């Protein structure tokens, strides 16, 4: 079976028309790769176009304020990607004199760039012979070659990387990598793969052994953690009270309402008896506006309640937690995570 030859032949007829494939600028290809990490193409495309327009060069991105970058990223999730993009842009300007790297050895030094991203960019831009391995590649190779090794183990990652490298078309590594990713995305799909019309169906081991639905294999899922957030909507003539999350946790650098986190779901009466609540708000009684909103992250489930709370907050509390009042015009420009943005939009607070 001439795996790479068949794959590239398929790609010539079925390649998707995507804007980042019209350039060999390593910066713009890097922008697309970072945006598409853990993001579908249809969801990531408008963000790529926005970033390519607002930040057409790495210098533009490096000069931008991080809060502005995060606001443009709003709604895409996994905000560490945006923070790493900003760090990487500054690094390119300061350490690479503004010339965006194209070799694997230099790309891998950038924040947020791993083996997959460095392999993809270097193979596409300068035809370095580095095979990519992502979810699509795992799926295609596991099925075609009947590989049972779990893909989320060190052994599995090494085994698939070695096989991908062995199969790589050395003359056209960039085209081969793109072909393999496209084939896994649109043909050898996780659900509903097009096996009957597949060019590999005569040689595909999973198809012959009726194992398509069970490959690739994973060792086990990470336990999902439940968290309980209680948000307080506090309004004055100066606007709504909000703050920016700074600690090393979800949504770092994004804005939200003052919040108390509890280990379990609490009633309103139980909440107001907490020492943390009394320290911030005294004996005031909040009114539940919206409750038990479920927001799922990769390894966390957030259960959120939103309360209206009247009265002024003591200046020392404002200073301690860095809570500030923002008017609606300013709030609209702040970078907010989806849970807060959806609440503001639903209750017409933007």
Which residue segments constitute the domains of the chain, with CATH numbers given? 3-214 (1.10.340.30), 225-346 (3.90.79.10)
Q: Where do runs of H (alpha helix) occur along the chain? A: 3-14, 26-35, 41-54, 58-63, 66-73, 80-95, 104-107, 115-126, 135-145, 154-167, 173-186, 205-208, 268-272, 275-281, 315-321, 328-333, 338-346
Q: So what's the pLDDT on residue 1?
A: 55
As a whole number, the mean pLDDT across the chain is 94
CB 325 within 8 A of CB 243: no
Q: So what's the pLDDT on residue 298?
A: 80
Helix (H, G, I), strand (E, B) or coil at 282: coil
Environment class of 92 (CB within 10 Å of its CB; exposed 0-12, middle 13-18, buried 19+):
buried
The angle, 0 to 180 degrees and rounded to 10, between the axes of the packed helices 115-126 and 173-186 is 120
Within a 13 Å sphere around the CA of 49, how many CA atoms are in the beta-carbon half?
8
Q: So what's the pLDDT on residue 219?
A: 87
- Write out the catalytic residue numbers: 33
d(CA 262, CA 274): 10
d(CA 196, CA 193): 9
Model confidence, pTM: 0.77
Please name every residue paired with 290 in a beta bridge, in sequence order, or none if there are none. 306
Residue with the two structure tokens 């090393």:
248
Low-confidence spans in the chain with pLDDT less than 50: none
DSSP state for residue 315 in the 8-state scheme: H
d(CA 102, CA 118): 8
Q: So what's the pLDDT on residue 2?
A: 87
DSSP state for residue 274 in the 8-state scheme: S
Q: Of the candidates 114, 131, 194, which has an alpha carbon nearest to the alpha carbon of residue 166?
A: 131
Q: What is the secondary structure of 167-231 as a DSSP string?
A: H--SSSHHHHHHHHHHHHHHTS-SSS---TT-TTTTT-HHHHTT-GGG-S--S-PPPPEEEEEEE
Q: So what's the pLDDT on residue 223?
A: 82
At 221, list the tokens: 């899922």
């Amino acid at each position: 079976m001439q795996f790479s030859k068949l794959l590239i032949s398929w790609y010539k007829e079925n390649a998707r028309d995507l804007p980042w494939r019209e350039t060999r600028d390593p910066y713009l290809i890097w922008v697309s790769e970072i945006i598409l990490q853990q993001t579908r193409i249809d969801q990531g495309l408008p963000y790529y176009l926005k970033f390519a327009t607002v930040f057409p060069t790495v210098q533009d991105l490096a000069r931008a304020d991080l809060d502005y970058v995060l606001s443009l990223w709003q709604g895409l999730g996994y905000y560490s990607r945006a923070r790493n993009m900003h760090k990487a842009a500054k690094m390119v300007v300061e350490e690479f004199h503004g010339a965006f790297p194209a070799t694997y050895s230099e790309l891998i030094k950038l924040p947020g760039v791993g083996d997959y991203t460095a392999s993809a960019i270097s193979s596409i831009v300068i035809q370095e012979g580095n095979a990519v391995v992502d979810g699509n590649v795992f799926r295609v190779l596991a099925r075609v070659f009947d590989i049972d090794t779990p893909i989320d183990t060190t052994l599995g990652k090494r085994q698939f990387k070695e096989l991908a490298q062995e199969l790589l078309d050395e003359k056209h590594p960039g085209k081969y990598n793109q072909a393999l990713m496209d084939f896994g995305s649109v043909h050898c799909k996780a659900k509903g793969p097009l096996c009957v019309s597949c060019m590999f169906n005569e040689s595909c081991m999973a198809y012959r052994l009726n194992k398509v639905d069970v490959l690739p294999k994973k060792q086990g899922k990470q336990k999902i953690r439940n968290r309980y957030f209680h948000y307080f909507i506090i309004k004055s003539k100066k606007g709504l009270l909000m703050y920016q999350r700074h600690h090393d946790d979800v949504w770092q650098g994004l804005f939200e309402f003052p919040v108390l986190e509890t280990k379990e779901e609490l009633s309103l009466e139980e909440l107001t008896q907490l020492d943390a609540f009394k320290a911030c708000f005294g004996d005031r009684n909040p009114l539940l506006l919206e409750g038990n909103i479920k927001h799922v992250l990769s390894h966390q489930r957030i259960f959120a309640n939103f309360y209206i709370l009247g009265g002024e907050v003591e200046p020392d509390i404002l200073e301690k937690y860095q809570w500030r009042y923002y008017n609606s015009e300013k709030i609209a420009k702040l970078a907010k995570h989806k849970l807060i943005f959806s609440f503001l939009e639903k209750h017409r607070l933007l």
